[in-house]
Chains A and B, each alone.
Chain A
């Protein structure tokens, strides 16, 4: 293969397919969540933040209490979800996207930590203790961070090529 060097660390085809599917699925989920928020009239994280439970709830509640902070939170949340979603979906800046997704999910996780002490008052499907769906998705994003696939099956591949191309070969006139 001509482009062996960019295939490092050298996944097998099946591994590449597997990682790509995982990446696209999580990208799909983020993007859809983000677009839903854009499409819901008057959507705001306020009620979600206000109902936060656990040791970090004062922080989340204080975000909801301030108009400015709430606006910033809402905008970052909506755009964050959409951009991370697109990034993962298309394999664009996939490492940074995976990391940002991990960060965002950490906030979701901490605002409603699934510990037995905090009675969940909201509508939660399923039963969780410490490990919940957010944490599992965080784990998956962590895997995608250390086993990136964007440079193989994503726009990063084109970006890598251009970067390398640009660095190695001087512009010819």
Chain B
């Protein structure tokens, strides 16, 4: 028996409440995209063996899972593809959940994806990555309950199918990687709380513009809401990242994509990944122009992604 898993990647569209005085803090908006992917195959084994990509991290994750569930048996994992690390595409959560889910299937461990995320230590700030793995589409999580510091599961509050005919043009400029792990936790600690008025703006933009636009497939309204939410969130992160976005290249590239016809644009998590949203037929041209724009300065990768509306693919091969 073998378990095959292919995960989506995650674009982060913004945080909701960086104040917390109503009892919840963070709360995130995210969307699942069809690539890059974590693709792995796992089978039962006498010894823990890992091959392919991200060998060391995968070994650590598998060890963690086997110990957490007291499994004496081991597992052999081949990581065929991985999502680039620390660029804002949610690689850590997808790999951790892929390892956990595959091992669980092999040994009949029954628990929810939320439970696996907690066991694998992926619930620090956000439930978005878990929801993306499980269901895909556009997701909103409830944020952390400030009265419950030991909270293990950050619940999903909204999940909508994301229009199949929309495309993200995703750019990863060749700049330093974004914050992760301890550096990220420290940055969150150092940030001044967002003013409640700013949080209110994000909330209203989410409920009265972004979410209805997804339901109604109105890309213009979606783009406007996204860009506004991104600018409010970005400005509140300025102290930690030195500006609205993670680098001046990111800022200029976002501006450029908007000028050449994107409906909305932003930065995923701490960057350096940025993205814009366009209709299917417009994506290729925007990709080519954005690539040329980046190549005229520091260079970088640019690709077109569509949404993943089903979450990770999990196949058990007998």
Query: Do these two chains interact?
Result: no
Listed in ascending order, the chain B residues whose CB lies under 8 Å from chain A are: none
